[in-house]
Copies of this chain bind each other. A is one copy, B any other.
């Protein structure tokens, strides 16, 4: 027996690296029922993405056998999550297939966007993330418990209008949100350690998921927009925030503050004073109130363009190290189109290209979101779909 024979035979029995070339680091036990849950979600995921399909189609797609798929589908049909929708139309040899689909009429989702400066927004959404009903509530400067009460009241008004059972409530909140849905810090709303998820779950008795607004937006752009599974979304509003999606999963960071780039100092040449006490934070160039103030004071189109170009360049300067370090191929902007799209975005992408290595991201893309103002609510709905069904 040669040395290499020993290794070959031993190695065969060992866990191989997965498709991404690395081994899964085991952290907790995995039982057969977990595998089952995974495969269950796999069926839902297949139907969610590809639409109506037969059991045999799903079996081919997933690699599981027809028998197993039949079993899983039976389970999902009992729970009313999957339904049969008749036989396949097009004629082909063999027994006609019974087509299945997600029971898209089974549940509704409530998505909430707390990131607005003057009002809270919420909506009832369907399985496809389409908005069915809307509701708003003027914030009127409420903070602390008053703000919380407004959230509850807004959700209440929508719950009353649902026509189907509620799958869950998703909330996109500004500030720093931990994994348990507690808003650790949201200065504008006067929240510090607000256990929003717990609170809403107790109040409404349905699963609730609270996530940072920019992260929600990034999820929405991935699920409903054209975004890749690795991208950064920059949300420009009253402040500037970011959401990072790596391999389709939001990044949270060591203190749940990943994406918070509004208060990173940009450039080496000073800058305006920021509310945070520093000088030259990204927000001082890019936040909507600052931009609008600067534009209002401008007297010519040239001056206007200079202001927007400067803002775009600053964003590019701030993003360049991030794009380089993460080897990002896609950056998406969300915010007022009339400000961001055009001169500003062009300046940003040009700055980014000039300051990073083209070889590593030849196809670097920067574009506006296609989801408009509903992006956070729809991202919150994605959280629910993903958390409750394993679908996104």
Seen from chain A, the residues whose Cβ lies within 8 Å of a Cβ on chain B are 3-4, 6-8, 10-11, 13-17, 19-32, 34-35, 37-42, 45, 62-64, 79-80, 162, 165-168, 176, 179-181, 185, 204-207, 209, 228, 230, 232, 242, 244, 246, 248-261, 263-269, 276, 278, 317-322, 324-330, 354-357, 359-362, 383, 386-390, 392
Q: Which residues of B contact A32 (CB under 8 A)?
A: 32, 35
Distance A156 CA – B318 CA, assembled complex (angstroms):
47
Q: List 28 A-B contacts (CB under 8 A).
A: A3-B166, A10-B165, A14-B389, A15-B41, A19-B28, A22-B383, A25-B392, A26-B38, A29-B42, A30-B35, A32-B35, A34-B35, A35-B35, A185-B359, A246-B251, A252-B327, A253-B326, A254-B327, A260-B325, A260-B357, A261-B324, A263-B356, A264-B356, A265-B320, A265-B356, A278-B355, A322-B325, A326-B326
Distance A259 CA – B324 CA, assembled complex (angstroms):
7
Distance A263 CA – B324 CA, assembled complex (angstroms):
8
Q: Which residues of B contact A320 (CB under 8 A)?
A: 264-265, 321
Distance A37 CA – B29 CA, assembled complex (angstroms):
10
Contact A38 B30 (CB under 8 A): yes
Distance A324 CA – B263 CA, assembled complex (angstroms):
8
Contact A324 B42 (CB under 8 A): no
Q: Which residues of B contact A207 (CB under 8 A)?
A: 7, 11
- Closest chain B residue to A11, Cβ basis: B207
Contact A20 B179 (CB under 8 A): yes
Q: Which residues of B contact A40 (CB under 8 A)?
A: 15
Contact A249 B22 (CB under 8 A): yes
Q: Which residues of B contact A261 (CB under 8 A)?
A: 321, 324-325
Distance A180 CA – B19 CA, assembled complex (angstroms):
9
Distance A134 CA – B354 CA, assembled complex (angstroms):
43
Contact A264 B37 (CB under 8 A): no
Contact A355 B265 (CB under 8 A): yes
The 8 closest A-B pairs by CB, nearest first: A253-B327, A21-B179, A4-B205, A257-B360, A254-B329, A265-B355, A267-B268, A26-B42
- What distance in Å separates the Cβ of A263 from its nearest Cβ neighbour in chain B? 4
- Closest chain B residue to A4, Cβ basis: B205
Assess A386 versus B264: contact at CB under 8 Å? Given A42-B29, A166-B3, A269-B269.
Answer: no
Contact A206 B255 (CB under 8 A): no
Among A204, A325, A354, A361, max chain B CB count under 10 A is at A325
Residue from B3, B24, B180, B252 within 8 A of A390 (CB atoms): B24
- What distance in Å separates the Cβ of A178 from its nearest Cβ neighbour in chain B? 8
Contact B25 A45 (CB under 8 A): yes
Contact B386 A205 (CB under 8 A): no
| Known A30-B39, A251-B326; further 19 A-B contacts with Cβ < 8 A | A10-B80, A10-B165, A15-B38, A15-B390, A17-B387, A21-B179, A25-B41, A26-B45, A26-B390, A28-B42, A230-B254, A244-B325, A246-B246, A253-B327, A257-B357, A258-B326, A264-B320, A264-B355, A321-B321
